[in-house]
A and B are shown apart, each in its own frame.
Chain A
Amino acid sequence: MQFVFLLEQVLNGLLVGAYYLLIALGLSLIFSLGGVVNLAHGGFYAIGAYLAVTLAPRIGFAGAFIASPLLVAMIGVVVERLFFRRFYRSDPILSLLLTFGLAMVIEQSLRLIFGAAPQPFSIPPELRGQVLVGDFIYPRYRLIIFAIALAAVSATWFVVYRTTFGRVVRAGVQNPDMVGALGISLQPYMTAIAALGIGLAGLAGVLLAPISGVHPAMGAEILTAAFVVVVIGGLGSFWGVILAAALVGVVRGVTIFINPSWGEASMYLLMALVLLVRPRGLLGERILRFE
């Protein structure tokens, strides 16, 4: 019986990993290409959720599901053009300061506009319900999130690994100067990647708004976990982030099963362990300019 219960936690951990993945993937993309550690990423996630709350009563949940990530991606374009762009070549500490400030501006703006109290928001009635597999229970909505996350990640993989666009991006990650020497300007690619990464955070915001509290600090809550995932997975590694997200979800679930008060601490212990054994992260690539 214990084993079955544990297995249920493991499978559930994989589902939870999907949320971490949506946030961590964008974080990893933006860092890999531009070297910007985007501490404001959680803020964009929160904006996605608040847009969903604001838009859903007007255009329905389905409409908000499409519109919010696009709007958040557009904000991403503006932020990249105005701010990120100035910091690609500078000391990482400067971009850290910038994005930390941006995160605070976003959180406080949400607090000023909407107040600190959580915004009421629910799963649309037609998406409610649970699926029973044997004795295992899965809320329908969580399975939908999982499917959408898989689709979004696959699409991102396709763009990065199977298109000309992606080839330039990957070349840019390894050697921006060489890409420049070949006569390709990386600027539009950077803008597109920032929009993609930030848009993914917006998508996560819309998807999670119905099942977690929509409040101004919701971004900060999930960002730490996303960072842990990126660090465990290894910078610049697409598969590393996926592997790490699943691992963090499972380790957290299993830890809560055994000793719940270690639930949130378990992912940091995992991170410390991975860094001790493999300082570059599980599947981290060797990126010359970060060595």
Chain B
Amino acid sequence: MSGDRRGIIGIAPGGLSRRQALAGIAGTVGAVACPAISYGQADAIRIGHLTPVTGFLGPLGEYAQMGVRLAADEINANGGVMGRKIELVMEDSVNPQTGSAKAERLIERDKVAMIIGEISSATALGIGQIAARTKTVFINTGANSDAIRGKDCNPFMFHIEAANSMMVQTVGNYLKAANMISGKKWYMLTADYAFGHDLLKVAKKYVTANGAQMAGEDLVPTDSADFSPYLLKIRQARPDIVASNLAGNQITNFIKQYAEYGLQMPITGFGFDTAVAWGAGQGNFAGIWPLIWHHLVDNPSSKKFVEGFSKKYGRLPENQAWGDYNSLKLVAQSFAELKSTDPVKLQEHLRKGAKFDILKGREGYFRAYDNQMIQEMYAVKAKDASKMKDKWDIYEPLGVVPAAGTDLEVLAPEKDGTCKMPA
């Protein structure tokens, strides 16, 4: 409703002077009023947020929404950006078709300054294409597929979320140290959609390059709730290691039923979200897993985030909340530094390697090659059930990669030339 009203003001004869007046108050007449006609007109800066809150990724989407809301609250409590409040326009992206349609509507009708969100790699691809066409910045906070950083990359799609290959390299470091790769037989279960296919490719390449053999691999439809036929196949194949390339609720079901069948092979996974492991329940979680961030990361800004989140929502934040929280924070910081919400300027600023505090030991930046956020990564190991203090206390940190003093970019996807940014 309010969007329509603003739209009318925007085309009314008096609209331009009103816009200029507002811009004048912000002290940025030249920067805002001229090119960004549709962006300077509202009192608030509208940010679009799209993520699946229903379906098998829904549990993660909920954390994404909590994260971005917390960031907006903190920014607004500190006086907003250039004196303007942040206003979130949030939608359930549902599936690739709906997600694309909603992205278009957010941009055309709601006139959002940029879009944050998404978890599904298939939907992120669609939103990314719309971002490129409309020259609107989209920060992907949860889709891992290497392909959207490779052949499907574009200058307006940024990735704060780690690429599949970063997750694989991260956990791979620890698996190598635990002597779980070389000479071992691996069995992989993979989510049967864009993300899983992409992850399987990267994971298989990594473990076989490091001396492992494949004992088997199965694709699992995303609506599969019963894993028993897969578990029987795994037991029959007698692998040394069982690895998950699953996603969302699949991981919860897999962890629960793996424990139910009492299979003894160590498990690990290349894609992971804390929320789905918390949901597995006592005595079920096991293995070594990679994470882009977790609530035990030990530094002051991370602790402050955990504290603020817990206070607002009564539960701990996890990696998905981290992504959406930091995306809005870094966009707000960029707007303030640029003194503008112009999307092209934002895009240039981010691509120039601006550094951001993303609650980690070292600052992160988007690299210009593929717009991937270059950053520290973590791995965790399941805690013994008897040592858990409460239902949140399911793992202990294994450390951070790359090691201090090493170039952060060693984890990033190879610059193999598949991403060709239009100049």
Interface residues of A (CB under 8 A from B): 5, 8-9, 12-13, 15-16, 19, 111, 115-123, 125, 128-130, 137, 139, 141-142, 210-218, 221-222, 224, 252-253, 256-257, 260-261, 263-265
A16-B259 Cα distance, complex, nearest whole Å: 17
A212-B257 Cα distance, complex, nearest whole Å: 7
Q: Are B53 and A116 in contact (CB under 8 A)?
A: yes
Decide yes or no: A212 and B230 within 8 Å by CB, A116-B53, A122-B281, A142-B260 being known contacts: no
B276 at the interface (CB under 8 A from A): yes
Please choose the segment from B113-121, B219-227, B366-374, B415-423 that sits at the chain A interface, where 4 or more of its residues have CB less than 8 A away. B219-227
Q: Are B260 and A123 in contact (CB under 8 A)?
A: yes
Kindly report which residue of chain A lies nearest to residue B55, judged by CB atoms.
A217
Chain A residues with CB under 8 Å of B283's CB are 122, 125
Kindly report which residue of chain A lies nearest to residue B283, judged by CB atoms.
A122
A224-B224 Cα distance, complex, nearest whole Å: 12
A-B residue pair count with CB separations less than 8 angstroms = 135
Q: How many residues of B contact A (CB 8 A)?
A: 44
Please pick, from B59, B192, B225, B230, the residue contacting A116 in the complex, using a CB distance under 8 A. B59
Chain B residues with CB under 8 Å of A137's CB are 232, 235, 261-262
A118-B57 Cα distance, complex, nearest whole Å: 11
Kindly report which residue of chain B lies nearest to residue A4, judged by CB atoms.
B236
Q: Are B58 and A263 in contact (CB under 8 A)?
A: no
Chain B residues with CB under 8 Å of A222's CB are 225
Task: Quote the shortest CB–CB distance from A219 to chain B (angstroms).
Answer: 11
Interface residues of B (CB under 8 A from A): 53-56, 58-59, 61-63, 192, 218-221, 223-226, 228-230, 232-233, 235-236, 249, 252-253, 256-257, 259-262, 275-276, 278-284, 391
A259-B257 Cα distance, complex, nearest whole Å: 21
A210-B280 Cα distance, complex, nearest whole Å: 9
Task: Quote the shortest CB–CB distance from B256 to chain A (angstroms).
Answer: 6
Kindly report which residue of chain B lies nearest to residue A1, judged by CB atoms.
B236
Q: Are A213 and B256 in contact (CB under 8 A)?
A: yes
Task: Quote the shortest CB–CB distance from A200 to chain B (angstroms).
Answer: 18
Q: Please list the 10 inter-chain residue pairs (A to B) with the smallest Cβ-Cβ separation, ordered nearest first.
A: A118-B279, A122-B281, A213-B252, A116-B62, A256-B229, A120-B281, A261-B219, A260-B218, A117-B59, A264-B221
Q: Are A139 and B262 in contact (CB under 8 A)?
A: yes
Chain A residues with CB under 8 Å of B219's CB are 260-261
A224-B223 Cα distance, complex, nearest whole Å: 10
Chain A residues with CB under 8 Å of B259's CB are 122
Q: Are A117 and B192 in contact (CB under 8 A)?
A: no
Please pick, from B225, B262, B279, the residue contacting A221 in the complex, using a CB distance under 8 A. B225
Q: Are B218 and A256 in contact (CB under 8 A)?
A: yes
Chain A residues with CB under 8 Å of B262's CB are 128-130, 137, 139
Chain A residues with CB under 8 Å of B229's CB are 9, 12-13, 16, 252-253, 256-257, 260, 263
Chain B residues with CB under 8 Å of A16's CB are 226, 228-229
Q: Are B249 and A122 in contact (CB under 8 A)?
A: no
